[in-house]
Structure 1
Amino acid sequence: MALTVETGEGLAAADAYVSAAAFAEWVANYYGTTLPGSDAIERAIRKATAYVDARYRGRFPGCRRRQRSQALEWPRVDAVDAEGWILPFGEVPAEIVRATCEGAYREALEPGTLAPDLDRGGAISRIKAGSVEIEYAGTAPAATVFQDIDHAVARLLRPASVMFGTAVRC
């Protein structure tokens, strides 16, 4: 099934922030390669879009343009970036598209990368196989941290300190 790419209208059926063609161009420009298989690419884009929305939704500024009737978190109204610049309400910011591409690239290379099932919540204290042993610090995250995706959206996110104690309904 073909992707339904968000246009900035707040589509009820959107399932992607980037088209397969735009993603392929991005991969060629950033990684100097191509990825085979259009069905696998579309699945990776859908997974990456869902990942970006789920991971950052609580820190995105503003409110969804069409409230609950739009499928994805973007476009948004009353949104400003970390420097105070107003984000146009009729578009998906380039940072969101880039983060989606970063995630889709990883997901295309290794399906399941973005949202793996975590045994026992992923809180592994120690792994030992023969003489090889790995023990994680108590503060180690339970899942992989994708820094390129974090960096891509960083300018758009509200600081965590602003979130606590603030309830906003659009």
Structure 2
Amino acid sequence: MANYGTEAGLAAYAASVGATVPAGAALPALVRASAYLDGRYGRRFVGTRAGGYAQPLAWPRDGAVTREGFAVPADAVPAAIENATYEAALRELAAPGSLSPDFVAAEQVKREKVGPLETEYRDVTALGADAARPVVTVIDEMLADLLCAPVPAVLVV
């Protein structure tokens, strides 16, 4: 499996944020984190895959330009991608599978009553599996400069 970053890079990033990486756990966490980044953000990254469809990961990319107008070399994986991967990997190490949890709509609880207390949960079944994924704001912020800007649209009915 392909991944962004290196085990040494993950260890350095972890040390910089006061975390540790258990021996032998870095590579699996990097693979899961890379898959998360590509799955969550891949369609929104600027540019196109430099190696075409057969390229296993979304980066490196052709025609990638940051929001500030700086060109990203077609053979480079930006530091922001690697750092976001390291952040995601640390979250995966803390709670394996948390970034891409399994989602079964039929198993979602709508109402729960325990004694006199009753709680009704938001119906996420219409939102699909993406609603089960957490929003990791720090990763969103790390990648903001490499994501396509939302296109303003008008809905005509």
Scaled by the length of structure 2, what TM-score is found?
A: 0.81
Across the two proteins, how many residue pairs are aligned to each other? 148
- 1:136 Cα shift? 2.9
In structure 1, the partner of 2:49 is 64
- Secondary structure of the corresponding residue to residue 119 of structure 2: strand
In structure 2, the partner of 1:27 is 14
Determine the C-alpha separation between the residues in 1 that align with 2:26 and 2:134: 21
In structure 2, the partner of 1:154 is 144
Q: In structure 2, which of residues 27, 35, 40 is the aligned counterpart of residue 42 of structure 1? A: 27
Equivalent position amino acid for 2:8 in 1: A
- 1:146 Cα shift? 1.3
Judge conservation of contact 2:7–2:26 (CA < 8 Å) in 1: yes
Structure 1's unaligned 5+ residue stretches are 1-13, 164-170
Q: Which has the larger Rg?
A: 2
Judge conservation of contact 1:44–1:108 (CA < 8 Å) in 2: yes
Scaled by the length of structure 1, what TM-score is found?
A: 0.76
Determine the C-alpha separation between the residues in 1 that align with 2:133 and 2:112: 15
- 1:123 Cα shift? 6.3
Judge conservation of contact 2:111–2:118 (CA < 8 Å) in 1: no
Determine the C-alpha separation between the residues in 1 that align with 2:52 and 2:84: 22
Q: Which residues in structure 2 correspond to 1:138-153 (within 5 Å)?
A: 141-153=131-143
Distance 1:142 1:108, change over 3 A: closer
- 1:162 Cα shift? 6.9
Structure 2's unaligned 5+ residue stretches are none
